[in-house]
Amino acid sequence: MANRDARRPFGLTRAAPVATTPGTWPSSMSVDPVTQVGVYYGIDGGVMPLMSSGGGAHGTYDPTSIPQMTDIDGKDGPRKVPDAPRSDDTTD
Amino acid sequence: MTDTTVLVVTGMDTTADAVIHELYSRGVPVARFDLGDFPAAVSFAAEFGKDIAGRLETPSRSVDLARVRSLYYRRPTFSEFGDLDPGDAQFAVAQARFGFSGTLQCLPDCLYVNHPRKIAAAEWKPAQLETAARLGFCVPPTIVSNEQNAITAFAKTHGPIVYKPVTWSGYIRGDTAYGLYVREVDPAELNETVTTTAHLFQAKVDKIADVRVTVVGAEVFCVRITSPLTDWRENYDLVESYTVIDPPEGMSGLLRAYLDHWGLVYGCFDFGIDRHGTWWWYECNPAGEWGWLQHHTGQPIASAFADVLEGGVT
C-alpha cells in the first residue's frame, strides 16, 4: 500500500473535499403526471444542491419555486396522458 | 408540429424542471423519464424499416417515436440491473445501453440538445484545446504529458502554471468525495508522480475575473464571476458577484463556430479575463450546469432552452 500511495498520480495530490452547500439531496423524486416537473421528497430546509460536472454543487436551489401540480383532481398516482399533457382534466 | 412531443431525458434535476415548466406553460407536449428508469418504469418497442415505428411508454406518457420533435439529454443516469447476478447484469446493462439508449439516438427529424454521441465527442479536453486554438480563441499555453522533464521545462517557460484534470472521473477516498480544483503548482512540487498517468498543466492566467458563457441556440448568456480564488468552484461562499455582461466583439461568432464544429446546440464555456480585457479560453462543457446562474442573475436561460426544444429541427 505504501508503494501504491507513492505512485498516486500527481493530479490527485491536488484533490480537496468537494465544496459543500447547505441543504440536502432529496430522498426520492416522482414526476408530476401532467406537468412532468419533478416532485421532490425529503429535502431538508426546502433547498437542494445544483449538480456540477466537477463533483461539487453550484450553490443551492429552491425546487418549490417551480410551480408543481401534485394534486390533480384529487387523484393520486401517475396516469397515462397520451402525448399531449394539456388535456381538459388539468387544474389550471 | 403542435402534437409532437419533447422528450426530456433526466433524473432528479431541478434545472431540467425549469425547462419543463417553461415548455408546459407554452402547451408543448413533454415526456420526462430517465434512462435509469428502464426497464423498471419505462418500456419501448421500435421497429426499424425505412422509417422507425414504435412507442415509448413512461408511467404517465405514451409517445410515438416517429413524432418526437426534440430531445433534451440532461445528465441521465443509467440502468444498473442490481437485481441480477453480476454477469447477467453486465450483459443487461450493455443491451440497455445499445438497445434503449441507441434507439433514442436515431429518432427521425428530432433536434437533440445535445446529441449524446456529440456530447461524448466534445468532452475530450485535448480536442477542445486544439479546436479552440484553431478557431481563434486565446488559449493559454498548455501541455498534456507524463514526462517529468517536459513538464518541468514547460513550467520554466510558461510559469506560473496550474494543474487541471484532463477529464473528471470522480474521486472518493474513504468516505469523502474529492474535487480537483484548479490551483497553482510550485515547480518544486513536480516529481516522478507525474509519470504515473497523463497530466495537464497550463500557464496560469493572471485573471481579474472569470466568465461563464452559456450558449443556447442563437442566445448567448455571459456572466462575470468575481472570486478571490483561482478556481471559484472551490468555495461558492467566496463568490463576490455574478454580473451579466456582453461578450466582446466577435466572441459570439467564435462561440457559435465552436459549437457548430462539434454539432452542439448548446454549450457552457469558461473563460478567464486578464487585466487587459482578454478572454482566455479554458474549456467548453457540452452538458454544463446553468440553473444556478439563472437563479442568481435572472437570465432567461430556461426560456432559451424551451425555444430551441419547441422549435425542433428547422
Note the pLDDT tens digit of each residue in A73-83: 333 333 333 33
Handedness of CA B184, B187, B193, B195 (dihedral sign): positive
pLDDT at A76: 35
A15–B171 CB contact, under 8 Å: yes
What is the rounded CA–CA span in Å between residue A49 and residue A55?
11
Q: How far is CA B25 from CA A61, A68, B100, in A?
A: 21, 12, 29
Does B14 lie at the interface with A, CB-CB under 8 angstroms? Answer: yes
Sort out which chain A residues have CB atoms less than 8 A from B185's CB and list them.
14
Sign of the Cα torsion B72, B76, B78, B79 reads negative
pLDDT (0 to 100) of residue B195: 96
- pTM value? 0.89
From residue B95, alpha-carbon distances to B29, B81, B100, B102, B274 in Å are: 29, 11, 8, 9, 49
B173 touches chain A (CB under 8 A): yes
Q: For the segment B43-102, what is each residue's pLDDT rounded down to a tens digit?
A: 999 999 988 999 999 999 999 999 999 999 998 999 999 999 999 999 999 999 999 999
Mean pLDDT value of segment B217-241 = 91
Q: Is the pLDDT of residue B257 over 90?
A: yes
Interface contact A9-B233, CB threshold 8 A: no
CB B75 within 8 A of CB B116: no
Checking if the pLDDT of A25 tops 70, the result is no
Provide the grid cell at B217: 441556440
- ipTM of the complex model: 0.87
Summarize the confidence of residues A61-79 as an average pLDDT. 43
**If we measure between CA atoms, which residue out of A44, A22, A17 comes closest to residue B233?**
A17
CB contact (8 A) between residue A58 and residue B287:
no
Q: Which of A38, A56, A59 is the closest to B17 by Cβ?
A: A38
Q: Are residues A52 and B64, on separate chains, in Cβ contact within 8 Å?
A: no
Residues of A whose CB is below 8 A from B180: 11-12, 14-16, 54
Report d(CA A56, CA A35) in Å as an integer: 29
How is residue A72 annotated by DSSP? B
Asked if B15's CB is within 8 angstroms of A9's CB, the reply is: no
pLDDT of residue B156: 97
Q: Which of A30, A83, A91 to mutate to test the interface with B (most CBs of B within 10 A)?
A: A83
C-alpha cell read off for B152? 518541468
Residue B123, pLDDT score: 94
CA distance B311 to B254: 24
Query: Which helix (DSSP H) or strand (DSSP E) does residue B32 occupy?
Result: strand B30-33
CB proximity list for B294: less than 8 A, separation 6 or greater: B18, B300, B301, B302
CA distance A44 to chain B (A): 15
List, for residues B168-207, the tens digit of each pLDDT value: 777 888 877 788 888 899 999 999 999 999 999 999 999 9
Note whether B41 and B31 are within 8 A (CB).
no
Integer Cα distance of B37 and B58 in angstroms: 9
Judged against a pLDDT cut of 90, whether residue B248 lies above it is answered with yes
Q: Is A41 on the interface with B (CB under 8 A)?
A: no
Mean per-residue pLDDT, B135-161: 97
